[in-house]
Structure 1
Amino acid sequence: MSKSFNLEYDEPKKARLDAFLNEQIEDLTRSQLQKFIKDGNVLVNEAPVSKTGAKLTKGDKILVNVPEEEPIKAIPENIPIDVVYEDSDVLVVNKPQGMVVHPAAGHPDKTLVNAILYHCQINDDDVIRPGIVHRIDKDTSGLLMIAKNNLAKQSLMQQLKEKSNLREYLAIVHGNFKERTGKINAPLGRSKFDRKKQAVVEGGRHAVTHFTVLEQFENYSLLKLKLETGRTHQIRVHMQYIGHPVAGDPLYGPKNTLQGKGQFLHAKTLGFVHPRTNEWMEFSVEPPKVFLDTLDKLRH
């Protein structure tokens, strides 16, 4: 069912239409709003406006008509995946850097889920995220556990909720440390200044990250990070918060950084109790070549 937003601009200074809508409508991204404007779905004083940078003046009335989205459904695609472990209940994969985990409006295909559905049978009613119990960002590489049935999904999700599983990451971050270990306990929520970002905010969701300094180089450090909670962009935001953003991070890091294909963050180790056998299982994979090559350069 389509919906609409009725707004009024009441500031004395002029403002860009797309910027104003981005501030006012939390449910939509700026790129979505810009597309609605170009497609004639935004009216200012009852007249369609096609320019995203159109200027608003005090008293302007804006109507945003949100068109109905076509339903997204994950379909099998013949995409190679790196299977680390598999049985009738669980699948552990090493996701490459640059691959999105599941379909969404901006990337309906070529995701890890599309590849998994081609590889094996997933018995799950969720048509967009079948088998997915946790995620890692597009440009983060490493291990993910996939549930192949409801028994496995409930068990793995419960372990995540109880924080009884193991998730350890490697990251190259900016700067050096005086301490060898640390704990970041800072609540996370959507940034008030940029809706694409998460931030440490008062009243946000509880988030805890532990870190250990493994090596230090000139202006950079290699860390092992252990997640106690699993919030969106948790490691990336927490490291920025303490003044050591992840190198190469296009969203939370500085522009002058190590050259790569996104943030130097890798989900190296994953551990959980098998949902059927109750056996503790633990897996570990090395970071991708660009990560290892960069480490070699920093060491020399």
Structure 2
Amino acid sequence: MATPPEAGPLPDADAPDDEAPDEAGTVEQRECVADAALHGVRLDKALVAIAPEFSRSHLQSLLERGHVRVDGRRATSASRAVRAGQRLALDLVPTAQALAFRPQAMALAIVHEDAHLLVLDKPAGLVVHPAPGHWAGTLVNALLAHHAQAAMLPRAGVVHRLDKDTSGLMVVAKTLPAMTALVRAIAAREVQREYQALAQGDVGAAPFSVDAPIGRDPRSRVRMAVLAGGKPARTDVMPLARALGASALWCRLHSGRTHQIRVHLAHRGHPLVADALYGGAPALGLQRQALHAARLGFAHPHDGRWCAFAVQPPGDLASAWQRVLDAAGVTAATIRPNHYER
């Protein structure tokens, strides 16, 4: 992998963040018999004699997880004093981070693929990049298994992200020239992205834009917020229906900041339905944020032809969306804004 992953803000795993599960055959074992120089030394300091290339904090973490033995019995206390003649054994378990960038065969909902790129429909619940809490089973792992060239590209060709619980369209590069072109197009705001969203409350009938800078929330590292010193961000919002305590919206991005639509709508006092991070409550049968990347348009990086794609939301969001439309008396024929004609 050419560059390290971008860390994600969504730790949510069953296994410890830094230990790789199910990696049989990859554990290196080291042993030594404590000599007079180690007599009375703390166990964590003594382990440096066995594995001097590792930091003391890493060796302490191995202790805590039961990967150290003294005379054949598991030891977990770092402050325990070593006695001369004791046999110290250490299992150098590879960290999950070290093993994160490996192929894992997974089903991908591919909407389009050619020699230069692929467009896929990401399901809700799939993490895009390996990060603490999600060192395996990510989209990057799947891309590494899907085609060999992914291993030669930064982030396996991923040029933009969707949050874990956001579904919908993503474009992924398969070559370095395509990746360079797509990254530049996104930075120049030439890639068009539209989202379906359900926000809490009545946002009103008139279309509006939220043009407010976004940065890391100083009160919580897992949240973003509208901040004076943040990066410029603009979201255009078209209300389509309001009923059942929610508003059905089309949202168009002019920038692509982390959590942008979620932050902008919460800033307006209308967080997404079921978006717990930003104050949204479960409703309409939804237990995850009501956001779907429905449409994607861009100039193909190889020949410049315009490419446009659309996918329907998954069942949970589709059902909630339709309930709001039906309750508001809005028909599907009246809510097809055609933003992607060039």
Q: TM-score, normalised by structure 1?
A: 0.75
Deviation at 1:292, TM superposition (A): 1.2
Q: Which moved more, 1:103-112 or 1:224-233?
A: 103-112
2:116 maps to 1:89: yes
Q: Secondary structure at the match of 2:128?
A: coil
Q: Go from structure 1 to structure 2 and tell me whether the alpha carbon gap of 1:249 and 1:70 turns closer, same or farther (over 3 Å shift).
A: closer
SS for the counterpart of 1:183 is strand
C-alpha distance in 1 between matches for 2:249 and 2:311: 16
Unaligned runs of 5+ in 1: 1-26, 42-47, 50-67
* CA shift in 2, pair 1:220/1:71, >3 Å: same
Match of 1:161 in 2: 187
Change (3 A) 1:234 1:162: same
**CA deviation string 1:273-297 (max 9, x = no partner):** 1111110100000000111111233
Runs of 4+, deviation exceeding 3 Å: 38-41, 123-127, 254-259
The verdict on how the C-alpha distance between 1:257 and 1:123 changes in structure 2, with shifts beyond 3 A counting, is: closer
CA RMSD of aligned residues (A): 2.9
Kindly indicate whether the alpha-carbon contact (under 8 Å) linking 1:268 and 1:286 is maintained by their aligned counterparts in 2: yes
SS at match of 2:140: helix
* Contact 2:206/2:239, CA 8 A, preserved across alignment: yes
After TM superposition, give the deviation of residue 255 of structure 1 in Å.
3.4
Structure 2 gap ranges (5+)? 1-8, 20-56, 65-77, 80-94, 328-342
Matched, 1:119 2:130: no
Conserved? CA contact 2:120–2:169, under 8 Å: yes
How far residue 124 of structure 1 moved from its aligned partner, in angstroms, is 5.4
Contact 2:106/2:142 (8 A) holds in 1? yes
1:284 partnered with 2:305: no
* Structure 1 Cα separation of the partners of residues 215 and 124 of structure 2: 25
Asked whether the equivalents of residues 98 and 261 of structure 1 are also in contact (C-alpha less than 8 Å), the reply is: no
Note the 1:18-33 alignment, pairs <5 A: none
CA distance in 1: counterparts of 2:151 and 2:256, whole angstroms: 22
1:250 corresponding residue in structure 2: 276
| Superposition map of 1:11-160 within 5 A | 70-123=97-150, 125-126=152-153, 129-160=155-186
Q: How far is 1:69 from its partner? A: 8.2
Matched, 1:174 2:188: no
Q: 1:94 is aligned with what amino acid?
A: D
Residue of structure 2 in register with 1:20 after alignment = none
Paired residue secondary structure (2:149): coil
Q: 1:125 to 1:116 in 2, by over 3 A?
A: closer
Taking the TM superposition and a 5 Å limit, the aligned residue runs for 1:199-210 are 199-210=225-236
Q: Is the Cα–Cα contact under 8 Å of residues 96 and 135 in structure 2 kept in the other structure?
A: no
| TM-score (norm: length of structure 2) | 0.66
| Distance change (3 Å), C-alpha of 1:123 and 1:138 | closer
Aligned residues: 248
Cα drift, residue 194 of structure 1: 1.4
Distance in 2 (CA, whole Å) between partners of 1:189 and 1:78 is 35
Contact residue 112 and residue 120 of structure 2 kept, 8 A: yes
Give, in whole Å, the separation in 1 of the partners of 2:246 and 2:96: 44
CA drift at 1:72: 4.7
